[in-house]
Structure 1
């Protein structure tokens, strides 16, 4: 396999520093979805933990080697995870976010003890501000997906999936900054090479998917999606290079399909998920023939959602 920035030995080592509360998450077949979607669907559930997303795996690896202060930009989930991991180790955590981010995510960042700074712009502006704070104060900047620790933490999900292979044919992974996709994809390429790795992104935030197809960085204008957790518009070149090695495909899905996916996960799996976590189901809905008769795993990556917005979406 061509090289990526990731390394299996480091990923296995990452498991040893991650709080067990984030590890060995449920992986189970959801039989109720099969007649609706026309394929066997298993769920890898990354929401049953203190920060309700997979991000805690990566922040645990980040903070394992830190002392002092740390800053990150976040749409919400990374900030919560870094606040949780940092609090347990006595770190001073600052999170920069858009003031338009999901209110419930921002509230949890504050509740976990981090200092929250809001910017009047999108996530890319938050990234610029976080970098400026790191330079000014001489503290560690955590850059999701660029920092290998975030990818290695996410990659431990791949170890858990590989242990269950070859019982499934396809893994559907939400694609935003790329830590989850590159981490899981790297492990599966090595440990379960017969498994197809398909990344899924909203059509309203297509930068990484367009970049994957063009095989070069493609930036986009403002995003337009309810899936705020994956709504970047400036792909990181190093992450794209890894993604080009490990992903078999990258697809875009509509907002209507994302909402339908959220509704199906509620009605047939009893799961309240944020839009990013429904991208896998949305991909099946939009291309049933591709997945018909196959065993598909979807990584349900987050469950941090504003209740009012959620009820407005799913009815």
Structure 2
């Protein structure tokens, strides 16, 4: 029995709460990509939905709970994707949503948060500064603060991806998951270790934002002074202790990859799948590029977690 905050029965029940448009996302083989990487590759596509990421799986649970409690207001900090998801799910249930984000966040993400009707407050500094401001707003207004990864609903919503992987017809031996705050990694990892314990769960993070990976290896929280990566969606500096405990229980490994590999992964996914994805979604491909021998001949699933990217920046990256 895995000792985590997550529960398999609740994860199964989550599928009845999450809007079906966010469920049963495509998973398919990509032979061209596999030939270039030297292994069999399936991609799990989490971008083909109204918020272009997996995050709504969790916000659907959170907002359903809040609406059931008669709550009317909610606030979160976001690097961009959570804010869009909370805006979408909150508007659907009549909640007033406030999102705090860094001014440095991609403009495309900020514009979509506003378009979904959320109140957007920008702060100078990085995501961790946004987290502090969101907590202040929650205290000042007496409203619910949604904390990605700390709120178990965000993890169990993401964990429904794991149910879909476990129920897939294709067999695989490795899953590569982008690692930021840890909601997707702990959620998917928990389900796979519960249902398919032989599958290796590998988490991937940029060298420029290594806090959770270092923490996993040290088995204690390691913080960093700054981040330096184009993968803004996973660029946290302060791992949450409870989330790290869950990650230690379900992940087989956590690896770091360089910016050049992330960019190469984005380019390969464009060329071989026709998909425009954000840097965080290319981390799995980057991991294979940096350690081809490890993955040679294996059957890998990589979760493409988001497609919210500034197109000008994207074009600069993939044209290098």
Deviations 1:15-41 (A, max 9, x none): 110000000000111111111000000
**How far apart are 1:166 and its partner, in Å?**
6.8
1:24 aligned residue: 24
8 A Cα contact 1:166 1:194, kept in partner: no
* 1:143 alignment partner, one of 147, 160, 176: 147
Equivalences for residues 57-206 of structure 1 within 5 A:
57-66=57-66, 67-164=71-168, 167-206=171-210
* 2:298 alignment partner, one of 291, 294, 297: 294
8 A Cα contact 1:202 1:253, kept in partner: yes
Counterpart-to-counterpart distance in 2, 1:273 and 1:232: 20
**How far apart are 1:221 and its partner, in Å?**
1.2
Are residue 13 (structure 1) and residue 20 (structure 2) matched?
no
Counterpart-to-counterpart distance in 2, 1:211 and 1:65: 31
Deviations 1:53-96 (A, max 9, x none): 00010000000011300000000000000000001111000000
TM-score, normalised via structure 1 length: 0.99
Deviations 1:85-138 (A, max 9, x none): 001111000000000101000000000000000000100000000001001111
8 A Cα contact 2:2 2:194, kept in partner: no
Deviations 1:162-193 (A, max 9, x none): 11277001000000000000000000001011
8 A Cα contact 1:165 1:192, kept in partner: no
Counterpart-to-counterpart distance in 2, 1:184 and 1:221: 29
Counterpart-to-counterpart distance in 2, 1:217 and 1:2: 20
Are residue 258 (structure 1) and residue 262 (structure 2) matched?
yes
8 A Cα contact 2:108 2:309, kept in partner: yes
Counterpart-to-counterpart distance in 2, 1:264 and 1:256: 12
Counterpart-to-counterpart distance in 2, 1:25 and 1:2: 26
Counterpart-to-counterpart distance in 1, 2:149 and 2:208: 20
Counterpart-to-counterpart distance in 2, 1:260 and 1:155: 28
Structure 1 consecutive aligned stretches of length 4 or more whose deviation exceeds 6 Å: none
Structure 2 gap ranges (5+): none
CA RMSD of aligned residues (A): 0.7
* 1:223 alignment partner, one of 227, 237, 242: 227
Q: Secondary structure at the match of 1:250?
A: strand
TM-score, normalised via structure 2 length: 0.98
**How far apart are 1:260 and its partner, in Å?**
0.1
Counterpart-to-counterpart distance in 2, 1:34 and 1:159: 24
Q: How many residues align?
A: 315
Counterpart-to-counterpart distance in 2, 1:48 and 1:36: 25
Are residue 238 (structure 1) and residue 242 (structure 2) matched?
yes
